[in-house]
């Protein structure tokens, strides 16, 4: 019997959940109509438990596969990550930049004041009202942690916990750079050297490595064998210059490298109000980002909607889901940003490591984040 999948799509207009059934997909539920979804993460050991960040609202948790959601944290939660070594440890990053941790599966939370201490030492001041008066700061601070669209607040876009050493934490800040802690958040250091435009999206390690890391940004894709010593570009073969979600698939054979897939676009979202919009594309690497090749047989030559999310299949090591939407947080194309705008979304599935993709027969608003769990 085929193993089941429950697919969570956080969209421009709520979260939609499906489960695989008889070779197709059956809709399970729709929640948070009228709200924009910003982040999602699920537990590996308890796949029925999923966390969802709702724009300007807070972090919600389901413990029954999406039938019921409960708010567990207030705030504008922009990222959520579950410690890969302990399902009970949850991290949430917000706008403006704050980091919270729960040790009991989301029941209670503590703010990591060490991050605020670090920020203050760099000249960045925090306002609990979520209003940042940038004109009060010196020029070097305004250039460091900011965001180009109102209200110009930097935020944590991604939280990386090392799967072999959970004391190692990396934060991606948009805009602001990369912060690292080697002691589970007791102290922080900036490890952004070599990246000239600090609009950081996703950071991950090469599987089974404590040294090799990769990071995607709005103006480059980078790698480092020691982030404290700086980053170098790893863009050989790309025909796009905006980089977002990426992931690793396990090697097909033990003597091979993992397969890398990354979602890209042509220029940044500020340019996507043109015809053909994002001009998105998926690229693949078999040699740990030394070279890249565009993949996507049967996909249109021009993908107008951005591929915002890539999600591993919970059972098939060769399969990946991709979520597409013609929107970005802060606006929807070609109209001002409203929940429900931006047209329709799409979810694609590959079963051959990105070589070819098929569109799932499901209906949803423009997709922003995606999670696939065992059902």
Angle subtended at Cα 50 by Cα 199 and Cα 169, rounded to the nearest 5 degrees: 40
Per-residue model confidence (pLDDT) at position 276: 76
Say how many residues make up the chain.
375
**C-alpha 281: how far from its chain's center?**
17
Per-residue model confidence (pLDDT) at position 333: 43
Judge whether residue 125 has pLDDT over 80.
Answer: no
Task: Give the N- to C-terminal CA distance of the chain in Å, as an integer.
Answer: 13
- The pLDDT tens digits for 11-50 are 999 999 999 988 899 999 999 998 999 999 999 999 999 9
Q: Are 70 and 57 in contact (CB under 8 A)?
A: no
Residue range 235-249: mean pLDDT, rounded: 97
Q: How many CA atoms lie within 13 A of 264 on its CB side?
A: 26
Q: Are 345 and 324 in contact (CB under 8 A)?
A: yes
CA-CA distance, 202 to 103, in Å (whole number)? 24
Judge whether residue 152 has pLDDT over 80.
Answer: no
Lowest average pLDDT, out of 60-74, 246-260, 264-278, goes to 264-278
For residue 141, name the pLDDT band (cuts at 50, 70, 90): very low
Q: For residue 258, which of 267, 249, 270 has the smallest C-alpha distance?
A: 249
Q: Which residues contact 209 (CB under 8 A, 6 or more apart)?
A: none
Per-residue model confidence (pLDDT) at position 313: 97
Judge whether residue 134 has pLDDT over 50.
Answer: no
Residue range 65-83: mean pLDDT, rounded: 96
Residue range 184-208: mean pLDDT, rounded: 94
CA-CA distance, 14 to 339, in Å (whole number)? 8
Per-residue model confidence (pLDDT) at position 306: 92
User: Phi first, then psi: what are they for 335, rounded to 5°?
Assistant: -105, 165
Per-residue model confidence (pLDDT) at position 146: 54
Q: Is 354 left (phi over 0), alpha (psi -120 to 50) or beta?
A: left
For the beta carbon of residue 6, count every other beta carbon within 10 angstroms.
21
Per-residue model confidence (pLDDT) at position 135: 37
Residue range 72-101: mean pLDDT, rounded: 94
Q: Are 6 and 43 in contact (CB under 8 A)?
A: no
- The pLDDT tens digits for 269-295 are 878 877 678 999 999 999 999 999 999
pTM of structure: 0.91
Residue range 155-171: mean pLDDT, rounded: 96
The total of structural domains in the chain comes to: 1
Q: Which residue has the higher pLDDT, 96 or 186?
A: 186
Per-residue model confidence (pLDDT) at position 120: 66
- The pLDDT tens digits for 328-372 are 554 444 443 444 456 789 999 999 999 999 999 999 999 999 999
Judge whether residue 143 has pLDDT over 70.
Answer: no
Average pLDDT, the chain: 88
Judge whether residue 142 has pLDDT over 50.
Answer: no
Question: Among the residues of 193-235, which ranges form H helices?
Answer: none
- The pLDDT tens digits for 98-113 are 899 999 999 999 999 8
CA-CA distance, 118 to 137, in Å (whole number)? 16
Per-residue model confidence (pLDDT) at position 148: 55
Judge whether residue 307 has pLDDT over 90.
Answer: yes
Q: Which residues contact 193 (CB under 8 A, 6 or more apart)?
A: 227, 228, 229, 230, 231
For residue 145, name the pLDDT band (cuts at 50, 70, 90): low
Residue range 85-98: mean pLDDT, rounded: 93
Name the percent of the chain lying above pLDDT 90: 71
CATH code of residue 271: 2.130.10.10
Give residue 153's domain range: 5-374
């Amino acid at each position: 019997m085929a193993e089941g999948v429950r697919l969570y799509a956080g969209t421009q207009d709520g979260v939609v959940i499906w489960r695989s059934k008889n070779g197709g997909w059956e809709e399970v539920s729709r929640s948070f109509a009228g709200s924009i979804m910003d982040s999602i993460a699920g537990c590996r050991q308890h796949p029925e438990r999923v966390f969802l960040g709702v724009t300007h609202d807070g972090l919600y948790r389901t413990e029954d596969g999406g039938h019921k959601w409960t708010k567990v944290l207030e705030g504008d939660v922009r990222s959520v990550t579950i410690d890969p070594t302990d399902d009970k440890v949850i991290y949430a990053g917000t706008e403006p930049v704050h980091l919270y941790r729960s040790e009991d599966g989301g029941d209670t939370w503590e703010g990591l004041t060490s991050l605020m201490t670090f920020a203050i030492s760099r000249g960045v001041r925090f306002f609990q009202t979520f209003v940042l008066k940038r004109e009060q700061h010196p020029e070097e601070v305004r250039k460091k942690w900011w965001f180009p669209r109102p209200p110009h607040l930097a935020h944590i876009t991604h939280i990386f916990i090392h799967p072999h050493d959970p004391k190692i934490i990396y934060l991606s800040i948009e805009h602001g750079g990369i912060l690292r802690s080697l002691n589970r958040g007791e102290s922080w250091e900036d490890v952004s050297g070599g990246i000239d435009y600090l609009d950081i999206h996703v950071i991950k390690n090469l599987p089974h490595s404590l040294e090799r890391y990769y990071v995607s940004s709005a103006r480059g894709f980078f790698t480092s064998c020691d982030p404290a010593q700086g980053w170098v570009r790893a863009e050989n073969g790309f025909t796009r210059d905006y980089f977002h979600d990426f992931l690793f698939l396990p090697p097909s054979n033990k003597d091979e490298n993992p397969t890398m897939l990354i979602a890209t676009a042509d220029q940044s979202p500020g340019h996507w109000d043109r015809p053909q919009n994002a001009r998105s594309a998926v690229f693949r690497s078999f040699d740990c980002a030394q070279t890249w090749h565009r993949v996507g047989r049967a996909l249109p030559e021009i993908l107008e909607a951005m591929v915002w999310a890539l999600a591993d299949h919970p059972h098939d090591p060769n399969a990946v889901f991709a979520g597409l939407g013609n929107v970005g947080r802060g606006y929807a194309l070609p109209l001002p940003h409203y929940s429900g705008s931006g047209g329709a979304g799409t979810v694609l599935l590959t079963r051959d490591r990105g070589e070819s993709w098929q569109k799932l027969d499901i209906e949803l608003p423009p997709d922003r984040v995606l999670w696939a769990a065992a059902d």
